[in-house]
Amino acid sequence: MLVRVRWRDQSEWKHWALALGSLLAPLSLLAFTVSFWAFAAELHWTNAFPFTQTPLADWQFWILAASLLLATAKLLAHLADADRNIAQ
């Protein structure tokens, strides 16, 4: 079984890619901020960190999540802008 998705307009996916990319960039900043908070909590520079016994307590997890979010945002922005650069 083959399912094909047809866009009404070929450039419609570019708008969705730009919209999603613009939402992922602030989320990556939030994840970087939480990673620094988790790192500071490990060094006892802050009072408490809300996640203590889960994988979310590791600052490495938050750095990885922030990096993946930022890379995805940049990739989506690049993909949405690629055809415009080729056409020029």
Which domain, by its residues, includes 52? 26-87
Q: Compute the distance between CA of residue 57 and CA of residue 69 in angstroms, rounded to an integer.
A: 18
What pLDDT score does 84 carry?
57
Q: Compute the distance between CA of residue 76 and CA of residue 63 in angstroms, rounded to an integer.
A: 20
What pLDDT score does 28 carry?
95
Instruction: Please report whether residue 65 resides in a domain.
Output: yes
Share of the chain above pLDDT 90, in %: 31
Sign for the pseudo-dihedral over CA of 26, 27, 32, 36: positive
Residue 70 has pLDDT above 60, yes or no: yes
Structure tokens at 35: 């990673």
Please write the tens of the pLDDT for every residue from 14-55. 778 888 888 999 999 999 999 999 899 888 898 887 877 888
Per the structure, the count of domains in the chain is 1
Instruction: Please report whether residue 13 resides in a domain.
Output: no
Instruction: Please report whether residue 54 resides in a domain.
Output: yes
What pLDDT score does 56 carry?
83
